[in-house]
Amino acid sequence: MANAIPSRGDNYSEWYNELVKRADLAENSAVRGCMVIKPYGFSIWEKMQRALDDMFKETGHSNAYFPLFIPKSYLSKEASHVEGFAKECAVVTHYRLKNAPDGSGVIVDPDAKLEEELIVRPTSETVIWSTYKNWIQSYRDLP
């Protein structure tokens, strides 16, 4: 019984990861916590996107894309909301690399420190609402 899939009800995360692994949909990458989605897994993802996109379009909705990075101050505004996953966020502190003086590879350029650190956004709410605040000034801006 060692090959049994974990129970979805007992441990959803373990069940999901085991299912993805056994179906050969994705594999771990060199970056901890990130996966490479294989072609069959990606085709499933594309079909899901198309189905959802069709549903959105049928109701008159439009898509938008928001940046992967958000200023740390955006996340700070939602401190209580992000408490559970803030420790898992990747933080970008510099915008440039340079060759190591000894020729051993590349190093972070200490002169390229960002004025405000950027966070790889765990959710999109903060960047979406700060943008919509600029787009919607009155009821006339609503659909």
Q: Does residue 143 form part of some domain?
A: no
69 and 130 in one domain?
Answer: yes
Number of independent structural domains in the chain = 2
Query: β-strand 69-71 against 97-99: which pairing, if any?
Result: unpaired
What SS3 class is residue 91?
A: strand
pTM for the whole structure: 0.72
Tell me the average pLDDT of the chain. 90
> 108 and 58, same structural domain?
no
124 shares a domain with 95: yes
DSSP strand pairing (26-28 vs 97-99): unpaired
Q: How far apart are CA 72 and CA 62, in angstroms?
A: 28
Q: If you average pLDDT over residues 64-90, what whole number do you get?
A: 81
Residue 98 maps to a domain: yes
Q: Which domain holds residue 74?
A: 65-137
The pLDDT confidence band at residue 88, using thresholds 50, 70 and 90, is confident
Helix (H, G, I), strand (E, B) or coil at 107: strand
For residues 133 and 69, membership in a common domain is answered with yes
Count Cβ atoms below 10 Å from residue 45 Cβ, excluding itself: 13
